[in-house]
Amino acid sequence: MATEKLTENAFTRAGENVHDLKECEVIPLDEYREKIRAHVPKTSLNDAEIIGTESDGFEEFLNRKATFLLGEMWGARDRRNTQDGQWSPTELTWGQWIAGQPGNRKKPAWGFSRHPIGRYKAGSCIVLGSSVEGARKAKAMDTMFAMGLDVDSGASLGETLEKLQELGVFCLVYSSYNHGKRGIELKRDDVLRKLQIARDPTDEEVRQYLRAHDKNRYEDSFVDAVTIADQKHQTAGGVKIVLDTPPLDKFRLIFPLAEPVKLIDLGDTQDGALAVWEDKVTGLARNVLGVHFDTSCTDPSRLFYTARHPKGAEWYAAIVQGAPLSFDGIKPMRKSAYTGNRDLNAFTMAGGQGDERPQCVTPSGKSLNDWHSDGGKNRFMLADLMETLCPDKIRHSGGEASGHVHTECPFEHEHGSEGGTATMAINCLDSQNEYWTWFCHHDACQGRHKLQFLEEALRAGWFEERALYDVDQGFMLEVADGETDPFAPLPGAIGDETKTPEERAQAFDTTHSQADIEKFIKALFREGVDLTTQANVTAILAKVTNLGKRELKKFWKELEDEKRKAERAKKRDDQPTGIFITEPAPVLTQYALNCIKTANDAAPFLFEYIEKPTIVRRGRLMTLDPDGKRHQLGKVATFLRPTGDELQHIYPPWDVVNDVFASDLKDFTLPLRGVVDTPFFAADGALVTSNGYHAGSQIFLDSELVLAGVSAHPTREEAQDAARFIVEECLADFPLGGLSRQEIMDQTFTESGVPAVANTLAFILLPFARTMIHGPTPGHVINKPAPGTGAGFLVDVCTTISSGAPAPALAMPKNADELAKTLGAVLMDGEAVIFFDNINHEMDSPDLASAMTSPHTGFKLRILGKTQTALVRVLTSWAFAANTLTMSPELLRRCILIDLDRKAVDPEKYVPEGGWRHRDVREWTRNSRAKLVHACLTIIQRWVAEGMTRSEDTLASFENWAGIMGGILAASGVGGFMGNQSALTDLSDGRDDELAHVVQAVAQAMHGIDGARLFIGSKTDEETAKGRFGLFDLLHAMDETPRLDQWGYRETFTGDGVEVEYHNTRKAGVRFKAAAKRTYRVTLGGVAYSARFEQEHDGHANAKCYRLDLTPQ
C-alpha cells in the first residue's frame, strides 16, 4: 500500500485532516468482505447503510485498485488551498477507499463508509481520477476510475436509492454538508429582469423563474411546493427574495467504473474526448437516473468534498451493492443542449441539436456572428483588450499563462456567489486552436457560447464595440499580406451608404480585385437587398469589372446558401419540445396547438383555405385528410411515451389530432387565398419575388423560375418593347380581331389599337396583377365563327406564360346542378385560370354569374357530397371559348370579348404567306417563359412606377379591374382596351332584345295619355280608351307576338299557322315585375327617352298596375 505518498498529502495535516496512515489501523479487507458476504448481512458498515444485492464478481472488484487525487479547498485565495500541481495521486483498493479509517480528537475519520462531524463544509476533497504531474484541470486528467454526481435539485434521496437498487448498480452515496436545508434566496433584481416585470412577483412567477432562469435545475415536484416568504430581504450581497421550500435533499453519488477510462482514448482530439466524457456524465444523470444535477460534475477534474456534517444535523451514507458502472452502457446526453436550452426534449439532447451558435449582436445592432465568421474568431486578442481597456475586470490567481487572463464574468449577477477565478479570457494567438475564447466554469454559465459573454460585456459598457473592428486599436490582428481585410471600410463611393447599390457598383473598375467585389456583394447581401437590386448590381459589375455574370451569380448563391443553412439551423433550434402522452387531454391539445403556431410563425406551412386545413405541395393546394393532419402535426410536435428507462417517440395520438383540428383554424393556421408559381404584385404595388407565404396578399409563391432583375423605373419605351415582344412572338399569328400579323403589329400600339389584342394582353397580365385588384374580374370570351381558328390554342399560350402550363380545358355541363358542382370543385382546387372550352350550348347559369361577380369577401359554394357550404375568395381568371357563342344577358355583361376570325374556309389548314413566327408557339412559349414573365413584370412595373394611375375605362361591377388593367396597358402604349364591347351584343341570347321591343310597344301605346296605367292581363276597349291598358292586349297587338320564356303563354295551331296567346297573369306578373326594375331606351317621334316603370295600386280595380315614366335623353 502506498503509505509514503499518503503521508505527504493534505490528509496528513493537523486539525480537520485525516491521520497519517502510518499511525492508523486500516480495517482488513477480509473483515469487510465477511460483512458483505454473510448470509444475513450486516445492515451497515461504519456510518454507511448497506443496501442492494451483491453482484457476481463483487468481491473481486473490491480488491481492484483505483487512483484518486487528494487535496483541500477552503475558498477563493485561501492559503490553505491545494495549489495546481500539488494534488496528490493516491492508489488504494476499492475496499480500502470504502472502509477508510476511524478518527479521534486529532485525526478525523475518512472513507466512503464514514460521515464524520465537521465544523466547515470546506476542507478535504477528492478528484475521481489521476492526472499528469498532479495538476487539477480537465486537460491534465489522465485516467478516470469513477463518475460522480452532485445532486441538490430537489430529487428525493429515498427515491434515488430505490432507483439505484432497481438498476442493480454499485454506488457510494453520502449526503452533502447542507443536506435538508430549507429556503432559497434569489437576487431580486435578476428575478424581475428575467421575468420582465416591475413589481413584486407572484408565487407562480417565482416558480416559473426557477424552472426557466435559475442557475440551478430543480425537480418540478420541488418547485411546485415553493412559496415566497419575503419579497425584499436586505443582505450584504444585495436585496434578495426569500423563498420557503421543503427540505432539500443534497447528496453525492460516486459510481465506481467497471473499467478505468483513459480520457484521451475517447476521441481523436482532446476537446472531443472531454466532450464525450461530459455527455456521458450528463447521460448518467438524465438518462440513467432521471435527476437534475450540478453540471460542473461533467469536468473530469471536478473535486468532491468528502463526507461530513454539522453537529446535530441530519445526514446519511450508504453502500449500494451491485454491478460496477459500465461506461459504454451509458446513453449519452449532449451537455450543451441540457444546459443551454431547458426546453429541448430528450431526443434533441441525445442528438445533434443545441450546439449551434446563438445569434448575438452589438449595441448598435451589428451581428457578432458575422463578425466572428468574417475573421474575428482567429484575429481577436481578447486577453490584451481586457488588460488594456478594462483592467478593473481582471482577477489574479497567479500562474496564468501568457495571453490568458482571469476576468470577472459578465454574467456574475447570475452566479450563486460573487468573486473567484472561474472565468478566463484567452487571445487567439495563445489558444491551442488559434481561436480566441471566453468561458466561465460556474454552473449558471454552463452551455453559454463565447459570443454571449462578448455580447453581455458590450451591453454592460465594458468597452466600445469599435474595438472589434478598428485594427488600429491593436486588438485585431492584421491580415496576411495580399489579403483583404473584411473589417476595413469600403473605400470612396463604393462604401458611401448614401448612394444606391447600383451607384456604388458603378464605382468599380477593372483594377479592383475579386476580394474587393466579394466584400462589396457580401455587404449588400447583409443589408438585405432584393433580387431586383442583386440582378442590377450583377449586370453593372459584369460590365465594369473583369468578373462575369456567372462568377458573380455564384457568389450571390453561396451567400444565399449560407443564409438558408443558418435559417435551417435556427429552425432546428426553435423546434418545440416534447410532451408525455400521459398529460391531461387539454394540456396535450394546447401543446399541439402551440407547436403548430410556433412552427407556422417561423416558416408558414399550414393554412386555412375554404375553411379547411391546407398545405402547399409541389405548387398546388392540398387539403389535409385525417392522415395528412396527423403527419403535419407529427412534424412539429413530439409526443413521448415512457418505456422503462427509454423515451419512445410516437405518432400524435388520434384524440389529440381530432381535437386540434376541431378547433378554430384561425387560431393556429394562416389564411391562404391561393398559390402562384410566378412573381406577382401585392396590393400596394410591391413586386413579390421571394418564395413562400406573403402575409399581406395571403398568397404562397412557389416558383423555380430564374428571372433577370426588373427595373424599378422602366421607361415607357422599355414597357412598350416588353408588350411588343409578347404580341410579336406569341399573339400576332392568331387572327385577333380578324386581322393579319402585319395589321396587328401596325395597329396595336396606336390610340385606337386592336381591342382583341389589348383584351388578350389583359388576360395574360391579370394573374400577375390580381392581388392589386380589390373585387371581381370579368370573363374573357374567345369567340370564333368556325372550328380550328385557335381559341383553345390561344388560351394555352396565354396561360403558359402566367402559370407555366396550359390551363386545363373543362367541358361546361348543360345541367345547372352539374355546373354548380363543377364550379365548386375547381374553385376549391384554387385553379389560377378556369377555362371552359368548346361550349356547344347557350350559356346561362346563376351560379356562374354569382361567382364571377362575387365580392371581395368571397363566394359561397356548395361542398360536394354534403349539405354544407363554404366561402371561397375568387382570385381565378375566367375564360370561355366556343364557335359563335350565345350567352344570357347576366353572363354577357360580365365578360369582355377576344374575337378571332381567320376569314378562311378551312381555318385549320391556313398558313400565312410569310409562314408562322414559330413552328410550335406553345413549345417556344414554354422555353422562353422566363423572358415572357420578365416582360409582363416590366409592363406592370412601369404603371406602378408612374404612380398606379387608373384609366377612365369602366365596366359595371368590375370598375377596379377596368381602371387598373386599362392603366397598365395605357402606360405601355397599348390602345383599344375593351373597344369591342358593343360587339358582345351579337352573342346575346336575344332576351333583352325581345323585352326592349315589348317596352317600345308599351311606350308607344301609353305615351301622351294622361293617367295611363298598365295592368297585367287584358282590358276591354272601354277601359283602354280611359288609359287603362292591358299588357296581354299590347303583346297580342304587336306585329309578331313575342315568345317570352316563362311568361305564361300557349301556342295554338290554326289553319293560318301558330297563334301565341298569353293567359297566365300570375306568371306574367312575376316576370314583368322583375323586368320593370330596369331602365330601357325607347324612341318616340324621333326623340330618345329613358323609360322606367313604377308600380302602384289601383283602388278602383283593387289591383297592382304600373305607371310609365319617360325622361328625354
Q: Which whole number is the average pLDDT over 972-989?
A: 82
The yes-or-no verdict on residue 346 having pLDDT over 60 is no
Please measure the distance between the N-terminal and C-terminal CA atoms of the chain and give it in whole angstroms.
126
Tell whether 982 and 994 lie within a shared domain: no
The yes-or-no verdict on residue 834 having pLDDT over 50 is yes
Q: Which whole number is the average pLDDT over 949-964?
A: 91
Tell whether 853 and 937 lie within a shared domain: yes
Q: How many CB atoms sit inside 10 A of residue 351's CB?
A: 14
Tell whether 941 and 1047 lie within a shared domain: no
- For residue 417, the model assigns a pLDDT of 67
Q: State how far Cα 981 lies from the chain centre.
A: 48
Q: How many CB atoms sit inside 10 A of residue 466's CB?
A: 11
The yes-or-no verdict on residue 665 having pLDDT over 80 is yes
Domain count, the chain: 7
Tell which of 672, 706, 724 closes a domain.
672
Tell whether 756 and 894 lie within a shared domain: yes
- For residue 483, the model assigns a pLDDT of 66
Tell whether 868 and 971 lie within a shared domain: yes
CA distance 44 to 35: 9
For residue 352, tell me if it sits in a domain: no
Tell which of 519, 554, 572 closes a domain.
572
- For residue 580, the model assigns a pLDDT of 87
Contact indicator for 885, 839 with CB cutoff of 8 Å:
yes
Tell whether 972 and 833 lie within a shared domain: yes
Tell whether 629 and 641 lie within a shared domain: yes
- For residue 353, the model assigns a pLDDT of 39
Q: How many CB atoms sit inside 10 A of residue 396's CB?
A: 10
CA distance 898 to 890: 18
| Confidence at 949, pLDDT banded by 50, 70, 90 | very high
Read off the DSSP letter of residue 775: S
CA distance 670 to 693: 9
Q: State how far Cα 694 lies from the chain centre.
A: 12
Query: Partners of 1097 in the beta sheet?
Result: 1104
Q: Which residue has the higher pLDDT, 61 or 17?
A: 61
Helix (H, G, I), strand (E, B) or coil at 1064: coil
Tell whether 556 and 642 lie within a shared domain: no
Our separate counts of H helices and E strands in the chain read 35, 44
Report the CATH number at residue 836. Answer: 3.40.50.300
Contact indicator for 349, 331 with CB cutoff of 8 Å:
no
| Confidence at 890, pLDDT banded by 50, 70, 90 | confident
For residue 662, tell me if it sits in a domain: yes
Residue 1007, judged by CB atoms within 10 A of its CB (0-12, 13-18, 19+), counts as middle
Amino acid at 328: D
1003: left (phi over 0), alpha (psi -120 to 50) or beta: alpha
Residue 183, CA distances (Å) to 100, 217, 1093 in order = 34, 15, 91
Tens of pLDDT, residues 492-506: 777 777 788 888 889
Tens of pLDDT, residues 1038-1060: 888 888 888 989 988 876 678 89
| Confidence at 20, pLDDT banded by 50, 70, 90 | very low
The yes-or-no verdict on residue 442 having pLDDT over 70 is yes
Q: Which whole number is the average pLDDT over 429-450?
A: 81
For residue 115, tell me if it sits in a domain: no
What percent of the chain is predicted at pLDDT more than 90?
40
| Confidence at 575, pLDDT banded by 50, 70, 90 | very low
For residue 812, tell me if it sits in a domain: yes
CA distance 972 to 725: 12
Domain holding 136, by residue range, is 53-89+121-180+248-337
For residue 94, tell me if it sits in a domain: no
What percent of the chain is predicted at pLDDT more than 70?
90
Tell whether 496 and 453 lie within a shared domain: no
CA distance 652 to 578: 11
For residue 129, tell me if it sits in a domain: yes
Tens of pLDDT, residues 615-637: 998 778 888 999 999 999 999 89
Contacts of 678 (CB under 8 A, 6+ apart): 701, 703, 705, 767, 768, 802, 803, 804, 933
For residue 779, tell me if it sits in a domain: yes
For residue 1028, tell me if it sits in a domain: yes
The yes-or-no verdict on residue 728 having pLDDT over 90 is yes
Q: Which whole number is the average pLDDT over 1061-1084?
A: 89
* Residue with grid cell 423515451, as numbered in its chain: 647
Q: Which of 1079, 1005, 998, 1078 is nearest to 1043 (CA)?
A: 998
Q: Which whole number is the average pLDDT over 689-708?
A: 85
Residue 1022, judged by CB atoms within 10 A of its CB (0-12, 13-18, 19+), counts as exposed
Residue 372, CA distances (Å) to 362, 448, 523 in order = 12, 16, 15
The yes-or-no verdict on residue 366 having pLDDT over 60 is yes
* Four-CA torsion 592, 598, 600, 603, nearest 10 degrees: -140
Tens of pLDDT, residues 803-812: 889 999 999 9
Tell whether 728 and 789 lie within a shared domain: yes
CA distance 979 to 310: 102
Q: Which whole number is the average pLDDT over 88-98?
A: 94
Tell whether 655 and 562 lie within a shared domain: no
Tell whether 137 and 171 lie within a shared domain: yes
Tens of pLDDT, residues 370-404: 888 888 888 899 999 999 999 999 988 776 788 89
Q: Which whole number is the average pLDDT over 411-426?
A: 79
1038, three cell numbers: 304587336
Tell which of 960, 986, 1012 closes a domain.
986
